[in-house]
A and B are shown apart, each in its own frame.
Chain A
Amino acid sequence: MESYLDLTIIDEEGAETTLGSLCVGVSLCVFLRHWGCAECSLLLHRLEPRLSELIALGARIVFIGLGSAQGIASFRAKHRFTREDICIVTDPTLSLHNALGLERGLMKVQGPKALFNRAKLGLQGYKNQSEDGDLLQQGGAVLLDAGREEIWRHKNTYFGDVLDPNELVEAVLQERARSSLSSKVSSGSQ
């Protein structure tokens, strides 16, 4: 069966690749909504201070959008996201989001919780700025170990339900601790 890691995505240069080719070692794949999404601004605001920590722990970070390939550059510019060690790709076909079973639907973005979060984000200064990509698709994140096994997952169930960076870092720490312990056991038994 074809894994979502084998599905085709588009990189910043507009070239086709697969998510699997970008996931080397422990990898965090963050699935974004459309490029101008207010929720994604909140996500980056929360995640950005922890990115260096995640990279220091050996995690490879890949952001996957669902807008046009041209939108990647403006997304980077808008969020002043200049780190080159963080990869941003896109899948406008939504194949990846679908394969992962990420939520999609009108009620996910216009339901009571979603509307409450939208109002809250608006008051905090997070507003939708452009609509490049599917507006109904929700985001999420998966953490893969070095063997590409999924060890942590977050699915946004409604607009504004972004991942908790502490939970994510905890999952990376536990994975690192497990692999560190197993390497010590194997080096000790030799």
Chain B
Amino acid sequence: MLIHIANLIILASFLVGDVMWLRSLSIIGGGVWVCYFSTEFTEINWSGIGWNVLFTLINVWYITQLILERRPISLTERERELKHLIAPDLELREWSKLLKAGEVVSGEAIQIIEGSPLDSVYLMMSGSGQRTLNGVSEELSIGQLIGALPYLTGGSSPEHVESLPGTQLIRWSNNALKAYLNGAPESRAVFQRLLGAEVSNNRG
């Protein structure tokens, strides 16, 4: 009897479309198989039990991953607006991971002095400020990247940047960001677009 129940559950797992259900039913079916191998033989069939325990462990691992991937993503209104502005194609979870690779700097004014070493790159999230390059000043705008040239060349800041108090920026350390982007090709492409906009406009 147990062999039929186990196979019916496995059959049902093949008929569902959702991978979570497929794996869950496989675990239940595996449990029934373990009962079968424990009770239906004169001696406990350890090899049958062992294989099913292995399958169950693999399924549990992947179910855990699925649960982690399906958790709701918590973003602030500004983080969502910024994504809409600069990375509309990027998956929300990738965007959330990219933000978490950096830190939000808010409240205090940020000052980057021309010629000083810059080991971080900043993204304007809200507020305002000014950047000056070769005597030419321009207002900072939302979604603009600061520190593109030092990020790409490893040099110092060619421009003077001052944000006003209350401005919100996301700060990534150059090394940490490079390490993160190497494993996140979609986010890397988004970042390259931002860097490209800065470099094409001759900003730093």
Contacts and interface: CB of A to CB of B under 8 A. Distances in A.
A188 B134 contact: yes
Interface string B139-166: 0000000001100110100100000000
A169 to B, nearest CB: 5
Nearest to B182: A166
Interface of A is mostly: helix
B5 interface: no
A177 B134 contact: no
Contact of A173 (B134, B158, B195, B202): B195
- Please classify the interface of chain B as helix (H, G, I), strand (E, B), loop, or mixed, using the class held by over half of its residues: helix
Interface residues of B, number: 19
B97 interface: no
A174 B196 contact: no
A170 B204 CA distance: 16
Given A56-B200, A184-B158, A177 B192 contact: no
A57 B199 CA distance: 8
A177 B199 CA distance: 6
Contacts of B195: 173
Contacts of A164: 185
Contacts of A176: 196, 199-200
Contact of A177 (B148, B185, B189, B193): B148
Contact of B202 (A53, A166, A180): A180
B196 A180 contact: no
A189 B203 CA distance: 18
Nearest to B203: A180
A57 B152 CA distance: 14
Contact of A181 (B153, B185, B189): B153
A148 interface: no
B188 interface: yes
A164 B189 CA distance: 11
B192 A174 contact: no
Contacts of A180: 149, 199, 202
A76 interface: no
A57 B200 contact: yes
Nearest to B133: A184
Contact of A166 (B152, B155, B188, B204): B188
A50 B199 CA distance: 16
A164 B192 CA distance: 13
Given A173-B199, A177-B152, 7 more contacts: A53-B196, A57-B200, A58-B200, A166-B192, A173-B192, A178-B152, A184-B133
Interface of A: 50, 53, 56-58, 164-166, 169-170, 173-174, 176-178, 180-181, 184, 187-188
16 contacts: A50-B189, A53-B192, A53-B196, A57-B196, A166-B188, A169-B192, A169-B196, A176-B199, A176-B200, A177-B149, A177-B153, A178-B153, A180-B199, A184-B133, A184-B204, A188-B134
